[in-house]
Structure 1
Amino acid sequence: MVYVYEGQFEGPGAGRPSAAPVTVGGPRVGLVVSKAVGNAVTRHAVSRRLRHTAGRVLDDAEMAGTLRPDLSIVLRALPAAATATSGELERDVRHALRRLLG
């Protein structure tokens, strides 16, 4: 499942309790891999595949025009992600982003 949020986070702290500076810009990608996906080893493997997938999608020239710097993207792994290949995950992420941003 893919969620897209528009708008940059501004200023020091940007909604955080600490006053530490926050990286502004993007697009930024966050991952959510719950216990419903599997045990810790499975969740970690899914996280690695999703992180790799996000990097490939962000670096792709085809997606560069649609992925603006003010976007925050959240990739939420569903239980089926535990058995999906990296290729299937990438295809699903690309399809969802095209649908949401197209």
Structure 2
Amino acid sequence: MLPAAHRLRRSVDFERTVRRGTRAGRSTVVVHLLVDPDAGPEAGVGAVAGGAPSQVGLVVSKAVGNAVHRNQVKRRLRHLAAAHLPALPAGARMVIRALPASSGATYAELDHDLESCLDRAVARARRTT
């Protein structure tokens, strides 16, 4: 479960992250990552920068499947995101968008795809800042 402080809730934050953040995708998920430029490397990975912790939001549309499949994908991605939270740069916002292939993917496949996307998105974000 994601701690309350690490959940992305406002639609404005989702929109800003998707539009301005770096994107990395695989067959089951797409990760959008927006790193706060004010949080330098001295803030540390996963730390709270200027009172703002790293936040994660999920987007699972009806294209993924019926309510049972969507909820299963959300539960899996929420658990995986909590496990990968320490790998996020301080003050970062991440949106995980599930693709239709995620409904048939195993937990291990989702984990592999999310980790791969997160690594690439963090590397791209560090190059641009």
Bin the TM-score by the shorter chain. 0.7 to 0.9
1:49 to 67, 71, 76: 76
Give yes or no for contact 1:6–1:71 (8 Å, CA) kept in 2.
Answer: yes
1:20 maps to which residue? none
RMSD value over aligned CA atoms? 1.5
Work out the percentage of aligned pairs sharing the same amino acid. 46
TM-score (norm 1): 0.73
Using the TM superposition, give the Cα deviation of residue 69 of structure 1 relative to its aligned residue in structure 2, in angstroms.
2.1
Q: Count matched residues.
A: 81
Q: Which runs of 5+ in 2 are unaligned?
A: 1-29, 38-50, 124-129
Using the TM superposition, give the Cα deviation of residue 27 of structure 1 relative to its aligned residue in structure 2, in angstroms.
1.3
Look at both structures and tell me which one has the larger radius of gyration over its CA atoms. Answer: 1
Q: Residue type of the partner of 2:55?
A: R
- Mapped to 1, the partners of 2:106 and 2:90 lie a distance apart of 28
Structure whose residues are more often helix by fraction: 2
Q: Which runs of 5+ in 1 are unaligned?
A: 9-23
- Mapped to 2, the partners of 1:55 and 1:87 lie a distance apart of 15
1:84 to 102, 105, 119: 105
Poorly superposed stretches of 4+, deviation over 2 Å: none
